[in-house]
Amino acid sequence: MILDLIHNEVKKALTQIENTDSSKLDIVVATNNKFGDFQTNVALQHAKILRKKPLDIAQDIADRLQSSPLFSKVEIANPGFINISIDTQTINSLLTDMSSCQYNGISQTKSNETIIIDYSSPNVAKTMHVAHLRSTIIGDALKRIYKACGYNALGDNHIGDWGTQFGKILYAYKNFEHPTDIEKDSVAMLEKIYQEFTQKAEEDSTLDDYARQELVSLQKKEEPNYSLWKKFISISLKEFHRVYKRLDITFDMENGESFYNDNLQGIIDQLQSKKLCQESKGAQVVFFEDDKYPPCLVQKNDGSFLYATTDLATVFHRQNKLNANKAIYVTDNRQKLHFQQFFHISELMGKDYELEHVMFGLMKFGEGTVMSTRKGAVISLQFLLDEAEKRAFDVILDRDYSEEEKKEIARVVGIGAIKYQDLSQNPMTDITFTWEKALNLEGNSAPYLQYAYARAQSIHRKFVETFPDHDLKSSKYCIDFVDGGSSKETIEKELALHILMYGHAVHHAKNQNKPNLIADYLYQLSSKFSSFYNQVPILKEESQSKRGSLILLSDLCAKTLKDGLNLLGIETLERM
């Protein structure tokens, strides 16, 4: 909002000058406060077009900006920067606007577009482990961010509930020994017999044939396989949902792969009638023009379908039944080619909305952090969360809270820390898992942000207690920074300006599908608040009106922290 304001003002000035192009106009926060609050390099960009010296152009623009009441100072600097200082009255009025804004300064999209976010997607009969964290948490954050910007964002959990592995599981379940009480410790049991099957099949390949028979029987919906399959799914879902609940993750729908079974043949028919696929080595294959991508199989030579087929069916289900305007898939970057292929195919088939693949890097494991399904040394998500909560609990062990409060604090801090360490990193880069980092509760971590919030809330409580007659509703922002002001005034203004950038940060994160941009913003916000906290004792401020202004600023900062953390799916605490 503040940027839009400046943007419009500069644009106005620019249009008064001939042959300028305001489409490239970019306003950024000044890199150093000696360069004012914001800066732009439009003059430099126009030097060539206008065939003038950049400094002259900058001067011309600056002259036109001087008269704006929004700015207190407009200066030019070599080689052609324009440095803009915001008038404190402007800041005060923007803060007032933001305080009363129900969206906390996040501008809302006018189109009521439906965005499907496809994330998490665990496989039935497999334990969720740390590597599943990324898709789940990033997808959930994206959904929250899109919603905050006014979109109709829907989460879909595309569960892996179909495929060849079920033949193996069925065979193993029927023939291997396992606890009869399937409800107990069940996913672990299913996983165990699956591993057992894999081992035995290495020695005895006839097992694979038996598994195939079980699969065919399942595909024909024959009993008992069909019922068993349903049971495996319900057991798995039950366990997944326990984890989701702990992580505060929700979905608007959970259409697993099997949901699309009845549409798969239709996809092949369509591809064939449009001559998009052809038979090759007994399978149905899509070839791309100029061999842009390697061929993509949509039906195996035994007639069964593949990943790409299901995904194509999903694309058109979302188009026809959900009226999607956009679908975002959150998966790891190894699947890049697959997404390129089926995105391209769906384009040829007449897809009429936008598809986007948000990829993230692999989770790697450092020394001493073994990660192997075969060796059974997996770090389960449950275990990781338990550890995080334990670590958080230890920090407050001696504090004067009830046992129940301590548990709640440990829960919020522990889960928050796990989420934050993932979300604060650029999704694209590989993430190296270490216990040290995952359970870090200091520095740039969730507790740091939660702590800033809790401190602000604490001030608020004490403020109300100490000044019971103070009417907060009649308080006004009165930041009155003057050039060369004290460090108190400087940090106050810096904090205010940063708060005003919240809406921009959220949209930036949305446009790039990078929640870490919000994490970054919030870390800086907390850091500025912590400095402010140390330098400006609000309750000691003698002027009543100034005191009122400071508490409003602290409150707005707290509100923004809470709002922003919520976008990352991280809870806040009133005390910790």
Partner RNA sequence: GCCUGCUUAGCUCAGCUGGAUAGAGCAACUGCCUUCUAAGCAGUGGGUCAGAGGUUCGAAUCCUCUAGCGGGUACCA
Site for RNA in 425-444 (CB under 7 A): 425-426, 428-432, 434, 436-437, 440-444
Q: Applying CB under 7 A, which part among 105-113, 268-276, 345-353, 525-533 lies near RNA?
A: 525-533
Residues 205-244 that bind RNA (CB under 7 A): none
What SS3 string covers 47-107? HHHHCCCHHHHHHHHHHHHHCCCCEEEEEEECCCEEEEEECHHHHHHHHHHHHHCCCCCCC
Using the rule CB under 7 A, is 458 a contact of RNA? Answer: yes
Question: Burial code of 478-487, b = ≥16 C-beta within 10 A, e = fewer?
Answer: bbebeeeeee
Q: How far is the CB of 376 from RNA (least distance, A)?
A: 20
> Are 28 and 500 in contact, with CB atoms under 8 Å apart?
no
User: Looking at beta carbons only, is 64 or 488 nearer to RNA?
Assistant: 488
User: Looking at beta carbons only, is 199 or 335 nearer to RNA?
Assistant: 335
Residues 164-183 that bind RNA (CB under 7 A): 164-165
Using the rule CB under 7 A, is 137 a contact of RNA? Answer: no
Distance, CA of 429 to CA of 369 (rounded, Å): 19
User: Looking at beta carbons only, is 182 or 246 nearer to RNA?
Assistant: 246
Q: What is the DSSP letter of 458?
A: H
114 forms beta bridges with: 152
Residues 554-573 that bind RNA (CB under 7 A): 573
Query: 140: closest CA among 255, 256, 259, 245?
Result: 245
Q: Applying CB under 7 A, which part among 95-103, 166-174, 239-247, 526-534 lies near RNA?
A: 526-534
Question: Burial code of 136-171, b = ≥16 C-beta within 10 A, e = fewer?
Answer: bbbbbbbbbbbbbbbbbbbbbbbbbbbbebbbbbbb
Residue whose tokens read 């922003």: 564
Q: Applying CB under 7 A, which part among 62-70, 126-134, 220-228, 449-457 lies near RNA?
A: 449-457
Q: Which residue from 48, 275, 321, 473 is in contact with RNA, where contact means CB under 7 A? A: 48
Q: Applying CB under 7 A, which part among 124-132, 193-201, 266-274, 333-341 lies near RNA?
A: 333-341
Distance, CA of 270 to CA of 217 (rounded, Å): 27
Q: Applying CB under 7 A, which part among 99-107, 159-167, 172-180, 344-352 lies near RNA?
A: 159-167
Q: How far is the CB of 31 from RNA (least distance, A)?
A: 4
User: Looking at beta carbons only, is 413 or 568 nearer to RNA?
Assistant: 413
* Greatest extent of the chain over all pairs of C-alpha atoms, in Å: 86
Distance, CA of 455 to CA of 511 (rounded, Å): 32
Q: How far is the CB of 102 from RNA (least distance, A)?
A: 26
Task: Determine the length of the chain.
Answer: 576
Cα distance from N-terminal residue to C-terminal residue, the chain: 33
User: Looking at beta carbons only, is 74 or 381 nearer to RNA?
Assistant: 74
Residues 479-518 that bind RNA (CB under 7 A): 508, 512, 514, 516-517
Q: Is 291 left (phi over 0), alpha (psi -120 to 50) or beta?
A: left
Q: How many residues bind RNA (CB under 7 A)?
A: 102
Distance, CA of 215 to CA of 209 (rounded, Å): 10
Q: How far is the CB of 308 from RNA (least distance, A)?
A: 8
Residues 111-130 that bind RNA (CB under 7 A): 123
User: Looking at beta carbons only, is 64 or 508 nearer to RNA?
Assistant: 508
Residues 365-404 that bind RNA (CB under 7 A): 366, 392, 395-396
Residues 264-323 that bind RNA (CB under 7 A): 280-283, 285, 294-295, 297, 300-302, 304, 306-307
Token reading at 499: 């708060």
Distance, CA of 229 to CA of 540 (rounded, Å): 67
Using the rule CB under 7 A, is 55 a contact of RNA? Answer: no
Q: Applying CB under 7 A, which part among 77-85, 322-330, 380-388, 471-479 lies near RNA?
A: 77-85
> What's the Cα-to-Cα distance from 150 to each of 159, 195, 319, rounded to whole Å?
27, 46, 20
Q: What is the DSSP letter of 34?
A: G
> Are 114 and 322 in contact, with CB atoms under 8 Å apart?
yes
Token reading at 222: 């024959």
Q: How far is the CB of 392 from RNA (least distance, A)?
A: 5
> What's the Cα-to-Cα distance from 51 to each of 65, 225, 287, 560, rounded to whole Å?
22, 77, 51, 45
Q: How far is the CB of 332 from RNA (least distance, A)?
A: 8
> What's the Cα-to-Cα distance from 542 to each of 301, 452, 493, 536, 546, rounded to whole Å?
82, 24, 19, 12, 8
Radius of gyration of the chain (CA): 29
Q: How far is the CB of 180 from RNA (least distance, A)?
A: 29
Q: Applying CB under 7 A, which part among 34-42, 90-98, 315-323, 346-354 lies near RNA?
A: 34-42
Q: How far is the CB of 558 from RNA (least distance, A)?
A: 12
Residues 340-369 that bind RNA (CB under 7 A): 362, 364, 366
Q: How far is the CB of 181 from RNA (least distance, A)?
A: 29
Using the rule CB under 7 A, is 28 a contact of RNA? Answer: yes
Token reading at 460: 């608020």
Using the rule CB under 7 A, is 30 a contact of RNA? Answer: yes
User: Looking at beta carbons only, is 337 or 348 nearer to RNA?
Assistant: 337
User: Looking at beta carbons only, is 173 or 451 nearer to RNA?
Assistant: 451
Question: Nearest 5 degrees, angle CA 14-CA 17-CA 21?
Answer: 55
Q: Which residue from 8, 269, 537, 545 is in contact with RNA, where contact means CB under 7 A? A: 537
Q: Applying CB under 7 A, which part among 142-150, 213-221, 537-545, 563-571 lies near RNA?
A: 537-545
